[in-house]
């Protein structure tokens, strides 16, 4: 057995974005598909935080939803603790579901506004039949305490809380089924920085205490650097680089990773001169052929326009690029 808790292999997801049938017939247009995730493979080790970064539309949430079984992959496999997830068998999925949970970006939308906070947190406990009777509310009180709220808050409604407190409630709920693995999709991007710090510190404390494994999704490179052991960089649905935590920041391999790092405004007042960032993200419905990054890449050459680069493993990480090692 390896120490990988999650293994994702060749994960792919298409969305049908065609016009309605009648329009297609009249306009003689083809069906159109958008590739949100293309052939993505990575592993997450037990107890680590693996992060996915990428700009809007790069496919982060699509991957997250497939991993927590909210969305079925078009191709590829997901193995959790050695067991391949079978989207056809609801009994098998149910057994797995208790072991992973998800925290979403918008702490308001993810909490039912008409339920008491106590019931929101208790729901997974009841669904999975983990506890009964008075023990349920005792556990809810304990969870509220862990996330820095109080057991008296169980009787309140979500709207009585601030954004940061609501995210704490969402975390308490995610913890209630005693999961091993939590997928956090932009857990702090709706929060203010002073509150973000509280939540990030809390996530780390909980990881230490309960040995949790995280998949952290964010577009904020500083947050990702602060939290992660390993980082995957996505561009237009493809994983272009996987690197060890801080190494991505000191020795980025892929030209897109370098460009992204260059673009981050720097609080350190180092006065560094940024390289000019080129172009914008292309339309995902008709991505450029070959390496999808080639129209913006300072190192692009003929081969990049024709062939899709596969990940090549340099020590400590991997990147998908034909020009690895060359600087630009």
Partner 1 sequence: MAEPLLSVRDLVVEFPTRRGTLRAIDRVSFDLKEGEVLGMVGESGAGKSITGAAIIGLIEPPGRIAGGEVRLRGERIDNLPPDRMRRVRGRRIGKVFQDPLTSLNPLYTVARQLTETIRTHLDVNEKEARRRAIALLDRVGIPAAARRIDDYPHHFSGGMRQRVVIALALCAEPELVIADEPTTALDVSVQAQIIDVLKEICAERGAAVMLITHDMGVIAETADRVAVLYAGRLAEIGPVRDVIKEAEHPYTAGLMGSIPTLTQTSDRLVQIPGSMPRLNAIPTGCAFNPRCTKVFDRCRVERPDPIDRGSGRQVACWLYDRAEARHD
Ligand X SMILES: Nc1ncnc2c1ncn2[C@@H]1O[C@H](COP(=O)(O)OP(=O)(O)OP(=O)(O)O)[C@@H](O)[C@H]1O
Kindly list the residues in this chain that would bind Mg ion in the complex (CB under 5 A). Answer: 60-61
Distance, CA of 272 to CA of 62 (rounded, Å): 35
Q: State in angstroms the smallest separation of the CB of 255 from ligand SF4.
A: 4
Q: Under the criterion CB under 8 A, does residue 152 sit at the interface with partner 1?
A: no
Residue from 200, 299, 308, 324 binding partner 1 (CB under 8 A)? 200
Chain centre to alpha carbon of residue 198:
20
Q: Under the criterion CB under 8 A, does residue 260 sit at the interface with partner 1?
A: yes
Q: Under the criterion CB under 6 A, does residue 104 sit at the interface with ligand SF4?
A: no
Q: Under the criterion CB under 6 A, does residue 17 sit at the interface with ligand X?
A: yes
CA angle at 5 for the pair 40 and 256, rounded to the nearest 5°: 30
Q: Are 188 and 224 in contact (CB under 8 A)?
A: no
What is the DSSP-derived secondary structure letter of residue 311? Answer: P
Q: Could you tell me the maximum CA-CA distance found in the chain, to the nearest angstrom?
A: 68
Residue 197 φ then ψ, to 5°:
-60, -40
Stretch that binds ligand SF4, among 99-107, 221-229, 260-268, 287-295 (CB under 6 A): 287-295
Q: Are 239 and 319 in contact (CB under 8 A)?
A: no
Q: Under the criterion CB under 6 A, does residue 13 sit at the interface with ligand SF4?
A: no
Distance, CA of 18 to CA of 131 (rounded, Å): 47
Binding-site string for partner 1 from residue 205 to residue 244, where x marks contact by CB under 8 A and - marks none: --------------xxxxx-xx------------------
- Token representation of residue 192: 């203010």
Q: Choose among 196, 144, 150: nearest CA to 173.
A: 144
Stretch that binds partner 1, among 3-11, 23-31, 88-96, 263-271 (CB under 8 A): 263-271
By beta-carbon proximity to ligand SF4, the closer residue of 72 and 307 is 307
Q: Under the criterion CB under 6 A, does residue 322 sit at the interface with ligand SF4?
A: yes
Q: Are 42 and 9 in contact (CB under 8 A)?
A: no
Q: What residue has token string 């997974």? A: 124
Q: Under the criterion CB under 8 A, does residue 194 sit at the interface with partner 1?
A: yes
What residues line the site for partner 1 (CB under 8 A)? 55-56, 162-165, 192-198, 200-201, 204, 219-223, 225-226, 249, 259-269, 274, 276-277, 280-281
Residues that bind ligand SF4 (CB under 6 A): 255, 291, 293-294, 297, 299-300, 304, 309, 321-323
């Amino acid at each position: 057995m390896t120490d990988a808790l999650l293994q994702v292999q060749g994960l792919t997801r298409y969305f049908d974005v065609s016009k309605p049938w009648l329009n297609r017939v009249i306009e003689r247009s083809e069906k159109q598909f958008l590739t949100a995730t293309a052939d993505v493979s990575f592993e997450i080790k037990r107890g680590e935080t693996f992060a996915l970064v990428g700009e809007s539309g790069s496919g982060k949430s699509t991957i997250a939803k497939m991993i927590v079984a909210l969305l079925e992959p078009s191709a590829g496999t997901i193995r959790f603790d050695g067991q391949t997830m079978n989207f056809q068998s609801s009994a098998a999925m149910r057994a797995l579901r208790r072991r992973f949970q998800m925290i979403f970006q918008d702490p308001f939308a993810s909490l039912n506004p008409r339920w008491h906070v106590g019931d929101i947190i208790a729901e997974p406990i009841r669904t999975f039949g983990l506890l009964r009777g008075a023990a349920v509310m005792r556990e809810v009180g304990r969870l509220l305490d862990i996330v820095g709220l109080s057991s008296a808050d169980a009787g309140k409604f979500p709207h009585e809380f601030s954004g940061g407190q609501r995210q704490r409630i969402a975390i308490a709920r995610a913890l209630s089924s005693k999961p091993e693995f939590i997928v956090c999709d932009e857990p702090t991007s709706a929060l203010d920085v002073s509150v973000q710090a509280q939540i990030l510190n809390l996530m780390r404390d909980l990881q230490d205490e309960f040995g949790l494994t995280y998949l952290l999704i964010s577009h904020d490179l500083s947050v990702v650097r602060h939290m992660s052991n390993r980082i995957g960089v996505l561009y237009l649905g493809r994983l272009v680089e996987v690197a060890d935590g801080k190494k991505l920041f000191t020795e980025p391999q892929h030209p897109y990773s370098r460009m992204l790092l260059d673009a981050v405004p720097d609080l350190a007042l180092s006065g560094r001169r940024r390289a000019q960032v080129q172009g914008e993200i292309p339309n995902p419905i008709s991505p450029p052929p070959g390496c999808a990054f080639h129209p913006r890449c300072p190192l692009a050459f003929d081969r990049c326009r024709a062939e899709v680069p596969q990940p090549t493993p340099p020590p400590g990480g991997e990147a998908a690029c034909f020009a690895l090692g060359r600087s630009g």
